Amino acid sequence: MYKFFKNIGGLMSQRKGDIGLIGLAVMGQNLILNMADHGFTVVAFNRSIEKVHHFLANEAKGKSILGAESIADLCSKLKSPRRVMLLVKAGDAVDSFINQLVPHLEKGDIIIDGGNSEYQDSERRTKELAAKGIRFVGSGVSGGEEGARYGPSLMPGGNKEAWPYIKDIFQGISAKADGQPCCDWVGNDGAGHFVKMVHNGIEYGDMQLIGEVYHLMTALGINQEQMGDTFEKWNKGALDSFLIEITRDILRYKDSDGQYLLPKIRDTAGQKGTGKWTAISALNYGVPVTLIGESVFSRCLSALKSERQHASTKLQGPNAKFSGNVSKFLDDLEQALYAAKIVSYTQGFMLLREAAKVHNWELDYGAIALMWRGGCIIRSVFLGKIKEAFDKDINLNSLLLDPFFLDAITKAQQGWRNVLTTAVTLGIPTPALSTALAFYDGYRSERLPANLLQAQRDYFGAHTYELLGKEGKFVHTNWTGHGGNVSASTYDA
């Protein structure tokens, strides 16, 4: 018997791995197990070799998973072209491992970065490695540890020559929605990580909106069980989604003492950067992604816990209590959440479209919606409607103009406005719900007060303006009679 297992072990050691994976934290381990379950042989490596040994002796035992003692050992055990995936901390760690890998790779080999890297880094790495004959892929990976283990959403981009060599693995291990893999090639250079960044930004927005709805519910005098029942009801309708589902479970969860756990959790929220990156990109590209921006700032405000505690003893607000119909208000809340969600995704896809224009990415927006349809944190039935919208009109500039979403937000807006009126009366902050409505009202306005803004800029800085009906011709007015006729036409404030 010993000889039999020894021979099996020898055969395993001679096998060539289909893909190598560096980084044995939770996500890395679960992705490896997922790949092995789908028939791929994986070579695992970690900076701490002890972690490799422990993984092989426990979670990976009996599976088509090999260990590597070094980078050189890892590369020697891989089929050609070698495919190596990194799941390490974004930034310097990725560059460090790339530098260690390159001497052991050949032209045509593939390096995949599956971390939350900035898309500019992926752009740079794609170009730098292409010059060395190495194909680089920067891939978004979403779904947390459960998604990694049983089916994540994967968003690969970079050097398209790599796609045929990783497609079977990526689409094999990804989540499936209506039988289709939640993974497809996104675009060149940094496109994959840009799409993942926007995904995470939308995730920030969804979570903030749900948080504001929960905050408003606390003012209604209903208990958490009733709140949970409401979210369960919503999860059977248009809001059916992973985040609504887990919010129901969180609201119902009781601690070991029989009390609800949620009120015991400190009300300060952290962030890992992707929401902030989305807001910064929106400013850089000039796209009004206001809801994600407010969601990031709301987390920043939550972090000022000690300041807020002090301010709460000094700053005054309304003492009003909710006196309306609770059932009707909950219906309005559902409409407000749905309408604001439509705006959030509208803004996210506007940002994707503008970035694609700047970088010459050929993004398939329907396919992106499908990639998010399963396996990721923002997965929802809602995304199926987005895919349908772009399938009907690939040139759709705004989801608000798609017939389905136009009808939905038209029906929802009265409840939305009722909610915000009540929130102001009660003194409950709703930055995301409110900015969504402000965007909607701004987007539907034929005229905005930017004419005054342009006049002000021209008054104090001679920055010029355009006249209605004479677009493209920039003029300056000597508003005071003392400023002269010189304009600052090259300055854009």
- Annotated catalytic residues are 196, 203
The reply to whether 204 sits in an annotated binding site is: yes
Q: Is 143 annotated as a binding residue?
A: yes
d(CA 457, CA 490): 13
Peptide bond into 181 cis (omega under 30): no
According to the annotation, is 23 in a ligand binding site? yes
Phi then psi for residue 468, to 5 deg, are: -60, 135
Rounded distance, CA 35 to CA 235, Å? 31
Answer yes or no: is 144 a known binding residue: yes
Tokens coding 224: 């958490």
DSSP output for 281-307:
HHHHHT---HHHHHHHHHHHHHT-HHH
Please identify which residue in the block is written with the tokens 């399938």.
391
Nearest Cα neighbor of 155 from 354, 359, 363, 395 is 363
d(CA 27, CA 379): 19
- CB–CB of 354/286 below 8 Å? yes
d(CA 172, CA 168): 6
Residue 88 annotated as binding? yes
Distance of alpha carbon 398 from the chain centroid: 19
CA distance 489 to 226: 60
Q: Angle of helix 224-234 relative to helix 191-218, nearest 10 degrees?
A: 140
Q: Within a 10 A sphere around the Cβ of 193, how many other Cβ atoms?
A: 32
User: Which one-letter amino acid corresponds to residue 69?
Assistant: E
Is residue 47 a known part of a binding site? yes
215 is in an annotated binding site: no
Reduced to 3 states, what is the DSSP secondary structure of residue 307? helix
Tokens of residue 40, six digits? 């791929």
484, 478 Cβ separation under 8 angstroms: yes
**CA–CA separation, 449 vs 38, rounded Å?**
58
Is 272 among the annotated ligand-binding positions? yes
How far CA 153 is from CA of 29, 127, 384, 400, 459, in Å, comes to 16, 25, 15, 25, 52
Q: Is 328 annotated as a binding residue?
A: no
Distance in angstroms (rounded) separating the CA atoms of residues 340 and 351: 17
Q: Is 341 annotated as belonging to a binding site?
A: no
Please check if 27 is assigned to a binding site: yes
Sign of CA dihedral 413, 418, 424, 428: negative
Q: Rounded distance, CA 206 to CA 65, Å?
A: 37
Q: Is 379 annotated as a binding residue?
A: no
- From 160, 167, 165, 122, select the one nearest 140 (Cα to Cα): 122
Task: Find out whether 314 is annotated in a ligand binding site.
Answer: no
Q: Give the rounded distance of the alpha carbon of 61 from its chain centre.
A: 34
Q: Quote the tokens at residue 158.
A: 């970079």
Q: Is 17 annotated as a binding residue?
A: no
Question: What does the DSSP assignment read for 378-436?
Answer: T-BTHHHHHHHHHHH-TT-S-GGGSHHHHHHHHHHHHHHHHHHHHHHHHT---HHHHHH
Residue 89 marked as a ligand binder: yes
List, as residue ranges, the binding site for substrate. 116, 142-144, 199-200, 204, 272, 299, 457, 463
List, as residue ranges, the binding site for NADP(+). 23-28, 46-48, 88-90, 116
List, as residue ranges, the binding site. 23-28, 46-48, 88-90, 116, 142-144, 199-200, 204, 272, 299, 457, 463
